[in-house]
Structure 1
Amino acid sequence: MFLSNLTAGAATPDTVKVKQEAVSPDSALLRERIINHNFGSIYEENLKLSFGGNEYFNKVKTQLTADIAPNFILFSTPKSRFMFVFTPRIKIRLLASQGAPVKTPSYMPGASIFFRVNEDSFNPKFFSFAYSHHSNGARGPSENPDGTFNVEDGKFTTNFYTLTYFSGKRVDKQDLVAERYDNLGLEVHAGLFNLGLSEGLKDHYGFVRINGGRMYNFIKAYDDPLEHGRKTYANWQRIQFDFTYIADKYDNYSAINIKKRLNVSLKYYYSFPFMQGSALVIGGGYRGQDDYNQSFQDSYGYVTIGLAAGLSFGYHKHS
């Protein structure tokens, strides 16, 4: 994750191998804690990044878009294979119209539990289980008198659960660490059972979704500015692909109607040496169903440019 130098959090290229080989067979407890510690860093690297910038070619023009996702790590310790995270996510669109109004934000707080299923931090395999709420804080009627959706001040609410499987691979090269992470998950909304949803969403909103993606992360070695001869490792580049496919029936769209069922995005991140925990982002994608509350009926392609950072906060012991 674009958080800080690798040496400040995750293991350096040689740390994992050296530590694991140095542990004697009788030191099972110590070995277990080293593995848990390494996986804790891997979990953090796969947390959602925060973004600020703009999107172009949207159906509604904007001056600024932001996806703020601070990750509060409430439980993470080498004594356990689990990590628990609370993320009070907010998405904002500042419209390119007179007065530059902020389109009703998407409030998306959620909580996630991560847990590993193997012991190899160079080929990690782990799951996450998450609960999320999505609403816009509006109190107006969800639908207009003519049956269309009220996109100005209509109430939007849905709750959903997500189970995701992750697998990764790490390769150490001269002055470079290359990582790849794949994920595939199932997202189920309570609205499928007529629970926790605003008026009108049933049969018009995707309640069952298949999510997935692939991420390449490159961490580069730099000369330590304070200690001659020492290397410090920091995030350098990232390529991230994500997709969502709506799998249940809605608005009589066929199962192969990807124009209405598929959301895809591809983003490239570049972090200059002087950028502390942040990166320049350029990318684009297509939304078959917009993920911004009452705008969900919109479908369009877009290009995005901005800055990203990993905002993770935790107050816990490291032993």
Structure 2
Amino acid sequence: MKPWYWLTVIYILSIDIAAAQVRQQANVNFIQLYKENSELSYTAPKGEIGAPDKYIINGKLTSTYMVVASPELPVAFAVHPDFTVRVREEQSSGVRTPSFRLGGILYFRLNRRVEDYQYATLRYQHHSNGQDDAALNPDGSVNTRTGNFSTNALLISYNFGNSIPGLNGRHDLSLNHEAGLEWHKWFNYEKILRGSYGFTRVFYNFSLRGYRPLKEVWRLNAGVNYALNRMDDYAFWALKKRLNAELSFHYSFPFMDNVFLMAAAGYYGEDPYNIYYRDKYAYLRFGISTGILRGPSRNLSAPH
């Protein structure tokens, strides 16, 4: 065969190899990004200050187990456990009804540039409180001591964001957005929730993060969600019942490693802590938080 034929074959193969390397690097970058964008865990003395009940300490422990995370695939899968407990301010210091959430998340990479990323998620989540007594007391009130709570949901979201290099010694920044829909009605749930629970919610989460060369220094997080489904006693515009919102700031001092001091303020129209879902209140929360953090020294490399 003529030399030009072999040159053409070599050229095409080199292009294919280079393209495969770019795809693989993008997949690796996004796998790290998925973990960084997971929710933070926290420990908060006094818990939600402003709640109807008093607490000694509250905690949320969550993680992301990347079960399928291959550089060869533009999709990934993670198991996502989430445990929340509130230790009550009473003689026994009881927890009563812990919140247990467990599910799986499918991630779909939509582009290759991690500095200007886009991806989608599909998530299934089970939520229960480990109790099996009747959810209602004989007088018709909710049994918050031993009452059963369970529900299951699908969540679909679109995630996007971008990085902003720091200038003149300022922090590098990243802007991160998530918008989506939460849907419960296709699955089993505790029957007393019917007509009084947010089975269909739209949500939006925002995170602004600042980095120094060796670590992530701070995060400003904001989140809001709103119940869309019909409720027996609340109109569609009843913000006091349908709206949940929180603003939090997390700061890591130089002597800290992978942990923040946390301050949060928010409002629950529907308390997400299982059988306490009928509680409505504004709150403050202070404590420490942690997650899968990074700094520009470990920045994700971008495909070119």
Normalising by structure 2, report the TM-score: 0.87
Task: Give distance in 2, aligned partners of 1:25 and 1:302.
Answer: 57
Residue in structure 2 matching 1:299, options 271, 280, 283: 280
Contact 1:236 1:271 in 2 (8 A): yes
After superposition, what is the alpha-carbon deviation per residue over 1:272-292, rounded to whole angstroms, capped at 9, x for unaligned? Answer: 122111111001100000001
1:212 aligns with 2:193: no
Query: What are the equivalent positions in structure 2 for 1:32-181 lying under 5 Å apart?
Result: 32-53=23-44, 54-174=47-167, 176-181=171-176
After superposition, what is the alpha-carbon deviation per residue over 1:208-252, rounded to whole angstroms, capped at 9, x for unaligned? Answer: 01111111011112xxxxxxxxxxx31101000011100101133
Task: Give distance in 2, aligned partners of 1:181 and 1:48.
Answer: 12
Task: Give distance in 2, aligned partners of 1:170 and 1:306.
Answer: 28
Task: Give distance in 2, aligned partners of 1:309 and 1:211.
Answer: 23
Structure 1 residue identity aligned to 2:54:
K
Task: Give distance in 2, aligned partners of 1:99 and 1:274.
Answer: 36
1:28 aligns with 2:19: yes
Contact 2:107 2:121 in 1 (8 A): yes
Structure 2 residue identity aligned to 1:36:
N
Q: Which residue in 1 is equivalent to 2:3?
A: none
Task: Give distance in 2, aligned partners of 1:41 and 1:131.
Answer: 21
Contact 1:183 1:212 in 2 (8 A): yes
Q: Which runs of 5+ in 1 are unaligned?
A: 1-23, 222-232, 313-319
Structure 2 residue identity aligned to 1:291:
P
Structure 2 residue identity aligned to 1:103:
R
SS at match of 1:103: coil
Q: Which residue in 1 is equivalent to 2:5?
A: none
Q: Which residue in 2 is equivalent to 1:240?
A: 221
After superposition, what is the alpha-carbon deviation per residue over 1:137-191, rounded to whole angstroms, capped at 9, x for unaligned? Answer: 10111112233221111100100010010110111124532100111110000xx
1:273 aligns with 2:254: yes
SS at match of 2:204: strand
Structure 2 residue identity aligned to 1:198:
E
Between Structure 1 and Structure 2, how many residues are aligned? Answer: 275
**Identity percentage of aligned residues:** 29
After superposition, what is the alpha-carbon deviation per residue over 1:85-129, rounded to whole angstroms, capped at 9, x for unaligned? Answer: 112211100011122111310111111111111122111011111
Measured after TM superposition, the shift of residue 132 of structure 1 is: 0.5
CA RMSD of aligned residues (A): 1.5
Structure 2 residue identity aligned to 1:242:
G
Q: Which runs of 5+ in 2 are unaligned?
A: 1-13, 294-304
